[in-house]
Structure 1
Amino acid sequence: MMQKIRLTTLMFFVSACCFAQLPAKPNRYTDSLNAVVQNGNDSSKSAAALLLSYYWVARDTSKSQQFIDLARIAGKQYPYQLALSYFYEGVLFYMKSDIASSERSFQEAIKRLEVFDTREALSFRSQAWHNYGILQQAKGDEEGFARIMIDESIPLAQQAQDTAYLGKNYLDLAIVFKNTQQYDKATTYLLDAINTLSAHKSNKATNNSTLNLINAYTTLAENYVLGGNHEMAKPVLDSAMAWLTRKPNDHLIVDYYSAEALYNVAMKQYREALVSVDSGVAKAKEQGRTYDEQRLLLQKYYALHNLKRYREAASVMDWLSQQPEMMTLLSSKLEVFKGMSETQAALGNFKPAYEWSVRYSQLSDSINGSRLKNEIHNMEIKYGNAEKQKAIDALKLENEKSSLSARNTRLMIWFLASVCILLFILAVVTFLYMRNNKRLSQQKDLFHQQQLREIEQQQQIHVGHALLQGEERERRRVAGDLHDGLGGLLAGVKMNLTGMATETKTKDLNRVVDQLDHSISELRRIARNMMPEALLKFGLETALKEACENLISDKVNIRFQSYGIRSNIPHEKQLTIYRVVQELLNNAIKHAYASEILLQCSQNNDTFFITLEDNGRGFDTSAIRSFKGIGLSNVKNRVDYLSGKLEINSTVNEGTSINIELNVAE
């Protein structure tokens, strides 16, 4: 959530002086300014020296300082030039990383510029307040930066009618609201910024306005995605790319790729997101922008995780967890902790997953963002009502002499009432805070218990899965041994006995041959039940039909109905479905003594439905847990294995109805 703060700081000097645009030929520009310094009057010397100071500030700070000193000497009798010298000195100290001196210089410039009411002076005051606010933001004071923007910088830019700088202020204020997850407010200010910057026609700041406009588009796209308005983000991204095509900028293209990756992840276009991340990371590395590279890799993690490439995702997140830039910001640290927990859980590493989850929960509980949101909201209300308050103040001043006594009385009453209301609100807030803390503690305990239960359930599912797979492998082995081994031996014995019976014509020997023939048939039936050949050769629907036909007898009639069963169900899941049906049929015949059975099997997309109804003796469903047999237990385990649902309706002496839904997605 903090990604745009660094961009605001890097744009410091772009917005530092909209009147000091450098020409295409800097040598001619500096030569002309130096000529003014040498031959002009004191006022023009001071102004030219300040422009030369700004020219050298990013190239040679010592030369920049010399020109500021020269400007003060030449302009000592010109208060406006002296005031501007402190503005440029604030920029110089910032370049020297002397934040305290930079703050003092900007404050001095603000104080000295207050006596001037020209549009240029008002614009410089707005910029001085803005840059002072950025220094507070760099120290982590988001609230202070927002207060300065609302109370000082934006009103001054409006008075100066400086549309380019007003748009920049709207953009920076919107970033504060986006950083505090107030996306609707951020959208309002971003649209104001785009409209203001798009309408700006001044040739002096066209380049800066274009860069700020591109920045506003990419920020608005991110804000739409984070606020859940995904469909609104795409046209905004297209607008940003259109401007970047006309005005290429290596710095802003990184922010574009970051917003594009965020959008692709939100739209579940994970492969496209990886392309955006790789493009952005390459540009960020070229510019040495370590944190921007890391926030792009965070989007790569989300894409890989959603593509179920968990090991690659874990590798990315493990690297991010070791980066000081990423782990310094609490919001980024929360995302890392949560990502590590989810990835480890997906890999089946439940102990480290639980440990990361605990760290995430503890850090999340320690962050309280409500105070900042409320104070910024109050400042916005104050700013929105500023014009109305001015009118009210003017009327009060006109009637002040005639109504002084009554007003003082009213003020005292309002003061006492406000104190009472404030004390009441404080008591209510304290009560609610204590109650919410208690609820939060209870919710944390419930959450931890739920996590432990979920981990235990996952382990049980894995164990059940392994048991079912082992059971099927053993069935397959035993069926093969019975059919190919013992079945072949019995068939050979039958042939020999048949030959002997033919030669000796002994009735007893013929009876033995018949019994042996029956035993071979029974052996083959058992082998087919353990590993049905029809399922392997012809698929699930044919195997289920054959299973029903094999159980039909004079005492039992089975009707089988199938609808839309697909042949592309994974073989392992086909086998599980076959075992569930086999177990249900056996229970209906052997335990319920049913004479009429209806079996319906159907499929809708990735959901497989089984319905079995019989006219057996039924049972009390409330006593299912006390049953000692393993039949229903096997059915329940297989249903859980396929993430399904099992519903049993039965009445004693009235039959049983069983409904099952299974997930058969590949």
Structure 2
Amino acid sequence: MKTYYSFIIFMAIALSGRAQLPLNGKHYADSIRLALNNTVSDSAKARSYFLLSDYFIRTADTLKSRQNLQQGMKYAGGNKYLRSVSLVYRAGAMPAHDADSAAKMFLQADKELQSFKTIDAFSARAKCWHDYARMLQFTSDDLEGYVNMLLNKAAPLAKQAGDWAYLGKIYLDVAFAFKNLTDFKKADEYLILAIKILRNAPGSSSYLASAYHTISENYSLSGKSKQAAAMLDSMRVLLQPYPDSDAWLDYYAGEGMRLTIAEQYEQSLAVIGKGIALAQKLGQAYPEQRLLMQKFYALYNKKDFKQAKDVALDLTHRYPYMTQAANRSQLFYCLALTSEDLKDKAGAYDWMKRYAALNDSLSRSTLQAKINALDIKYQTAEKQKKITKLEADRQKAVLTNWLLGIASITLLIITAFLIYYYRNSKKLAQQKELNHQQQLKEIEQQQQLKFTQAMLTGEEQERQRVARDLHDGLGGMLSGIKIKLSGQAKAGGHQELDGVIQQLDHSVTELRRIARNMMPESLLRLGLETALRDLCESLMSEQTQIKFQAYDIRKDMPAVIQANIYRIVQELLSNSVRHAQASKIILQCSQNAEIFLITIEDNGIGFDTTAGLNAEGIGFSNIKNRVDYMKGKMDIESVINEGTTINIELNAAG
């Protein structure tokens, strides 16, 4: 459970990243306005208005951004350099739905600025490529292109300009890209580089604070609580001169997350409380609600389910938090879990229904799986009752036989005939008992076979259905959500949604990979031999060689037989690659009439066959169930540190 909640905490932070503004944001804007009043030259006024336009873009005030941009262009007049610079700010202020025009404008700006070899021109071009890369990332989701532009275009220009603060920001954005891919090690490398640069660069305090906060998250989620605390301490020292900066909200969120993951729940709640108070003071509604969600996780992991539920219920009435479907879905699911822990089954069911309404395809699949599991459990219980009744009848029969035996002994004293009769009766009773035991065993075996057949058939059907639902249903939904979020990010200037969009894209790719593995298309379209060959190729790597040999495999076998054979081979290869750590594997499959033979050899670590197959986990259990279902037999030879050979003979008659 700890892993799950750590993941949820991470997601909450990823969903709510804060735009990088100066730590003294209002003072920053006021100082530019003051400079405007004291400035005489038109070029200086144009630059100041461009800076104000960029500031209001980052505060999501598009109206003021356009107004200041128009003023800047007015004062730029016929100045060729300033007109070229204005293209950078104009492109950055364009709405998300007009990305093509913005891209052309960024490229035009860079082309025109190339004729100027000044420090200011290099800085403007660095900003141009940085903002262009960020826009492309939002619209096309090209993470590779995004990182390539930052490192090969923007970074060299920032170095030429000697703009170390902006270079540090570029490295920080590269780190964000790797962080969103959950490559924390690579993200740490760029974060450490960014921090090293930003510590010595003037005017970089907001970027440095963000770098401290981001690397603390990486350390917390990697279990490095001490390193996370050190980075947060550095952030706190940096923010102390700015008690009203909204960057403190990131600090409190990061510290709260670190303490919750470290299971220091009381300290976490205290820190989160300070953050909530500051958010209320600054009128920051969404950061306050984000901190309330952090408070819920601290209370829940503390097992204070009552207070956790109260916090979550309060959040259901909060806006703008509840305007995001992802937030609602997460909150409903948390309320369902909390209600269940409070033994409120009705409430848990109600919240799970709401959660299901937001996660329609996945919820229907999960609900159906639960219903099937309950049905199997019920059928198993009924069969167990029948077995218990038969056992009771058997015991009753045994008791009756004993009574007959006592009576027979009494009669033996009277007459030899009765002795003879008693002996015959006893033999007959013993034979009946054996027959009865055999019947019980046969009934139990038949029931077990039917149960296994139903389970395997249901498993394959469920694999196909879940794979189809995941690929066509949830995959499409996630792609749709990503497109909508991209649109919102552009329309509203929410830079924080970049992480969500990246993670959604990664999730869609992983989801479709899982769907293909659950029911390979090659098995359905091209048959068993091709599917097995594709399986071997997919598991091969530089460390593992797999040689596949197929002889006379028929293509007209029933689909269920092919699926069972495929799953058996899949489990065997998985054991050799993952558990046996084999570097060489030979797989041989052949068919003679209705007999299908499987032989697999590897040079892995082997195992002790005398310890029983149960010690090898659920893999061998699944293989044995499928072999029994196909009325086959399996032989295993294994030597420790030398390898394993498994021979399987199956009845492929269908």
TM-score of the pair, normalised by structure 1: 0.46
TM-score of the pair, normalised by structure 2: 0.47
The structure whose RCO (Cα within 8 Å, separation 6+) is larger is 2
